[in-house]
């Protein structure tokens, strides 16, 4: 070993010794290990239990408590559940089930009610049929206790065996022992809770329409169950004088409410989602049957004249937006059955004409529901089913019943197969068109569209693509942008409505082709979000009817063909101001009429002379307060002139105005596009952008008074 090597080794040892010495102060031994007791782990890491502390997690609290009541109904012990939004961010959920047990639990030495509400992994779902639960959505025994842990206030009232019992909690901790509060003729459980602002820092705002949508869906899944949703947040005084009622609806208050009960189950649900569609076959397919290892397999489906598919998945009546093993089994069986029928009846002959899964799904509305005693989800939020036995059970039950349906209903069968053959041909045409575009792009080095003013940065995480309406706004935006991170793509008028267009026709559209190439992530089954060139895509259109139409067309395109962009939070809508108000040298921008009116009122400015169609000058009222807020000019008792400009479009702004109001990342306002309810969004797009004119007309007529139209 050379002397140089010896010196290098010695230096390395010295550095290691110094490093260890420098870290001695940060002791790491048994005392460093924390053991979180009770429900403290939930408060420390709420995302592990409810997914997020944003709006989704907030509404998930309602779902967790509701699911306990729904499990009672699913097993025949309850037929009415009521969900009420109360003043002060409180929620009240009532069921007429058996009522949570209140006797002393052998292990915990406290009441079963207190055990369920304050101990993780404690519940009545582990015993299966011994507790009356053949199937349930709750499987970890953490739902109620998690909601308790994340609530600043919770009260549970149990009506059982002629006696009403009550216990209160805060942040998961008991405030007092379970106590009797009187006699009762009811049976069931009433849960009141108020989420904790320390956890839900974004704010506590429940969306009643979102609650109603979920309750409607659940009513379809449990035949004969009545579910009532009530929004009583505006009736505080009347409510507080009736604290110990059972069903809130007994008060008879005139508050927004909706009640659902469906005897048709999944058949009714499929018809509901197809209400704005044109069915291509008369009979709705339906099967419900028990299978090995599975309590129930239930499937309903119908094909419609559309190019999109809608598949809803449920396991023990819990929605699985990410699908799972039951959907894998359903898709495999569906494709196999359609291929077999078409071959058997000589509807397709060439081996290359085998239907793929995508062919079989086009235009399909289907609901797949399974019920299992022992169920496995991937994660506490239960978005995806992991139970292996579900796949085989669905394949067997659905495959056998669907084959029989095709044989017994030849007219329906031929209509379905014809629809799938059309999808196959369109897929081949679209593939040829797409391959042609990609080949051309590769030969030209993926040449970007000529109208695109690209940004300098190659880092997608900081880059933005701003889609503007028209060349005029495009020119202004190009001059006012931050060239390093902002790219501008002007659109020439309105793009193609993709709701009724297949991929090959879409790619014939120059506007859509330019957008696809600019994004750089391809489209359809070759879409790769990792290749996305801009992590923020901003739609910037005028604040008028045409601008709203263009925005809707773009959102339809993104929803149908680039849904991962919406799911990933990449799509935003710019919020340009409506007014520019100049008081002397001061400039103020307002994004709504109400903001401008409030400002005028505060500053004692009269707007009686304002003509919003063009720039106008008004003067402050000659009052002492006005002169204080708006100093008088020399030689006059009146304050300075106030200039009010009403913007009709982005093109009316100069580059500086557009930058400081709409494009500057430090000052602009934007709305991020999200999908809280994918099924509801799908239904709205079908109605507004599809071919069902009567439904669209009825929607417009019934909602016209809510529109704020600037023509």
Confidence category of residue 245, pLDDT binned at 50, 70, 90: confident
Kind plus residue range of the DSSP H or E element containing 319:
strand 318-319
Tokens 């119908």 appear where? 302
CA dist 441 and 449 (Å) reads: 11
Residue linked to tokens 């409607």 = 216
Percent of the chain with pLDDT over 70: 77
Q: How confident is the model at residue 2 (pLDDT cuts 50, 70, 90)?
A: low
* Stated length of the chain: 711
Nearest to 376 by CA among 309, 325, 423, 317: 325
Mean of the pLDDT values across residues 389-395?
94
**Of 453, 466, 464, 470, the residue nearest 650 (C-alpha):** 470
Question: With 0-12 CB in 10 A as exposed, 13-18 as middle and 19+ as buried, what is 230?
Answer: buried
pLDDT at 396: 94
d(CA 275, CA 283): 15
Mean of the pLDDT values across residues 258-285? 90
Annotated catalytic residue 542: yes
Of the candidate ranges 339-343, 453-457, 649-653, the one whose mean pLDDT is the lowest: 649-653
Q: Which fold has domain 43-260?
A: Heat Shock Protein 90 (3.30.565)
Structure confidence at residue 379 (pLDDT): 65
Residue 127 has pLDDT above 50, yes or no: no
List 72, 469, 603, 682, catalytic entry: 469
Could you give the CA distance from residue 423 to residue 126 in angstroms, rounded to a whole number?
Answer: 46
Q: Please indicate whether residue 141 or residue 597 has the higher confidence score (pLDDT).
A: 597
Domain ranges of the chain: 43-260, 266-429, 448-576+672-702, 579-646
Q: Kindly report the CATH number that applies to the domain delimited by 448-576+672-702.
A: 3.40.50.670
Span 134-175, pLDDT tens digits: 555 444 335 889 999 999 999 999 999 999 999 999 999 999
pLDDT of residue 617: 40
Averaged pLDDT for residues 564-571: 91
Residue-level pLDDT at 17: 55
137 vs 129: CA distance, rounded Å = 14
Strands 163-170 and 571-574: unpaired
The H-assigned helical ranges of 289-409 are 325-344, 357-361, 388-408
Task: Provide the CB-side half-sphere exposure for 461 (13 A, CA).
Answer: 0
Residue 37 annotated in active site: no
Catalytic site includes residue 546: yes
Phi-psi region of 379 (alpha: psi -120 to 50; beta: other; left: phi over 0): left
Q: Is the pLDDT reported for residue 615 higher than 50?
A: no
| Alpha-carbon gap, residue 662 to 590, rounded angstroms | 12
Mean pLDDT of 91-119: 90
Q: What pLDDT shows up at residue 608?
A: 53
Residues 6+ apart with CB under 8 A from 18: none
Per-residue pLDDT, 689 = 61
Active-site residue identified among 504, 546, 612, 680: 546
Asked if the model's pLDDT at residue 551 lies above 70, the reply is yes
Res 429 pLDDT > 90:
no
Stretch 83-101: mean pLDDT: 94
Query: H or E stretch including 268?
Result: helix 266-273
pLDDT-based confidence at residue 198 (cuts at 50, 70, 90): very high
302: left (phi over 0), alpha (psi -120 to 50) or beta: beta
Identical fold for domains 266-429 and 448-576+672-702, yes or no, is no
The values of phi and psi at residue 626, to 5°, are -65, -40
Task: Find the catalytic residue in 395, 412, 542, 603.
Answer: 542
Q: Is the model's pLDDT at 374 over the cut of 70?
A: yes
pLDDT at 237: 66
Q: What is the pairing mode between strands 536-540 and 571-574?
A: parallel
Residue of 56, 462, 482, 544 with catalytic role: 544
Residue 419 or 240, more confident? 419
d(CA 594, CA 575): 15
3-state secondary structure of 368: strand
Residues 229-245: what's their mean pLDDT? 75
Q: What is the CATH number of domain 266-429?
A: 3.30.230.10
Using one digit for the tens of pLDDT, what is the confidence trace for 530-545?
A: 999 999 999 998 877 7
Does position 32 have pLDDT exceeding 60, yes or no?
Answer: no
The interaxial angle of helices 410-443 and 325-344, nearest 10 deg, is 110
Alpha helices (H) along 444-482? 470-480
Residue 61 pLDDT more than 90?
yes
Sequence-ordered list of residues with C-beta below 8 angstroms from that of 277, at least 6 positions apart, any chain: 304, 305, 306, 365, 686, 690, 692
Whether the predicted pLDDT of 586 surpasses 90 = no
């Amino acid at each position: 070993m050379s002397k140089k090597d010896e010196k290098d080794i010695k230096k390395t040892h010295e550095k290691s010794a110094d490093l260890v010495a420098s870290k001695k102060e940060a002791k790491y031994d048994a005392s460093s290990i924390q053991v979180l007791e009770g429900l403290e782990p939930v408060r420390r890491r709420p995302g592990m239990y409810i997914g997020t502390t944003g709006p989704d997690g907030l509404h998930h609290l309602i779902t967790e408590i509701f699911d306990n009541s729904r499990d009672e109904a699913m097993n025949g012990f309850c037929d009415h559940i009521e969900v009420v939004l109360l003043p002060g961010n409180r929620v009240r959920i009532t069921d007429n089930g058996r009522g949570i047990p209140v006797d002393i639990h052998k292990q915990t030495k406290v009441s079963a009610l207190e055990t369920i509400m304050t101990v993780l992994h404690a519940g009545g779902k582990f015993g299966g049929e011994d507790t009356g639960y053949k199937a349930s959505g709750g499987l970890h025994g953490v739902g109620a206790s998690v909601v308790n842990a994340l609530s600043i206030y919770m009260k549970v009232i149990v009506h059982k065996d002629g006696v009403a019992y009550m216990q209160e909690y805060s942040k998961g901790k008991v405030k007092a022992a379970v106590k009797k509060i009187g006699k009762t003729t009811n049976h069931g459980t009433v849960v009141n809770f108020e989420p904790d602002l320390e956890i839900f820092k974004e704010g506590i705002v429940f969306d009643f329409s979102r609650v109603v949508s979920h309750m409607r869906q659940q009513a379809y899944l449990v035949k004969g169950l009545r579910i009532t949703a009530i929004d009583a947040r505006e009736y505080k005084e009347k409510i507080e004088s009736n604290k110990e009622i059972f069903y809130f609806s007994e008060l008879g208050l005139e508050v927004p409410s909706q009640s659902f009960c469906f005897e048709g189950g999944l058949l009714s649900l499929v018809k509901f989602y197809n209400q704005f569609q044109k069915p291509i076959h008369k009979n709705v397919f339906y099967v419900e049957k028990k299978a090995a290892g599975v309590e129930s397999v239930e499937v309903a489906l119908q094909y419609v004249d559309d190019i999109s598919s809608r598949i809803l998945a449920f396991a023990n009546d819990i929605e699985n937006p990410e699908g799972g093993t039951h959907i894998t089994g359903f898709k495999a069986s569906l494709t196999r059955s359609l291929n077999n029928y078409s071959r058997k009846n000589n509807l397709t002959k060439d081996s290359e004409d085998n239907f793929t899964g995508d062919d079989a799904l086009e235009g399909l509305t289907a609901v797949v529901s399974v019920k299992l005693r022992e169920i496995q989800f991937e994660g506490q939020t239960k978005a995806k089913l992991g139970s292996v036995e579900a796949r085989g059970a669905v394949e067997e039950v659905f495959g056998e019943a669907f084959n029989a349906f095709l044989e017994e209903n030849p007219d329906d069968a031929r209509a379905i197969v014809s629809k799938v053959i059309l999808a196959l041909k369109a897929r081949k045409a679209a593939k040829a068109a797409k391959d042609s575009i990609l080949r051309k792009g590769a030969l030209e080095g993926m040449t970007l569209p000529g109208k695109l003013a690209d940004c300098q940065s190659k880092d997608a995480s900081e880059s933005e693509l701003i889609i503007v309406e028209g060349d005029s706004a495009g020119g202004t935006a190009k001059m006012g942008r931050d060239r390093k991170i902002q790219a501008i793509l002007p659109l020439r008028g309105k793009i193609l409505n993709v709701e009724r267009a297949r991929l090959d026709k879409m790619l014939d559209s120059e506007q859509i082709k330019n957008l696809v190439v600019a994004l750089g992530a391809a489209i359809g089954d070759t879409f790769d979000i990792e290749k996305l060139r801009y992590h923020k895509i901003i739609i910037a259109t005028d604040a008028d009817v045409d601008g709203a139409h263009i925005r809707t067309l773009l959102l339809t395109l993104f929803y149908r063909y680039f849904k991962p962009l919406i799911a990933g939070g990449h799509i935003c809508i710019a919020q340009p101001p409506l007014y520019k108000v100049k008081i002397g040298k001061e400039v103020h921008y307002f994004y709504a009429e109400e903001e401008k009116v409030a400002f005028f009122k505060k500053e004692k400015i009269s707007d009686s002379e304002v003509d919003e169609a063009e720039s106008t000058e008004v003067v402050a009222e000659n009052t002492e307060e006005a002169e204080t807020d708006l100093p008088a000019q020399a030689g006059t008792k009146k304050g300075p002139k106030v200039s009010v400009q009403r913007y009709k479009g982005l093109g009316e702004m100069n580059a500086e105005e557009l930058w400081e109001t709409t494009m500057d990342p430090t000052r602009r306002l934007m709305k991020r596009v999200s999908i809280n309810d994918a099924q509801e969004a799908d239904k709205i797009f079908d109605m507004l952008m599809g071919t069902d004119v009567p439904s669209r007309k009825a929607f417009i007529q019934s909602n016209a008074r809510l529109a704020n139209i600037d023509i």
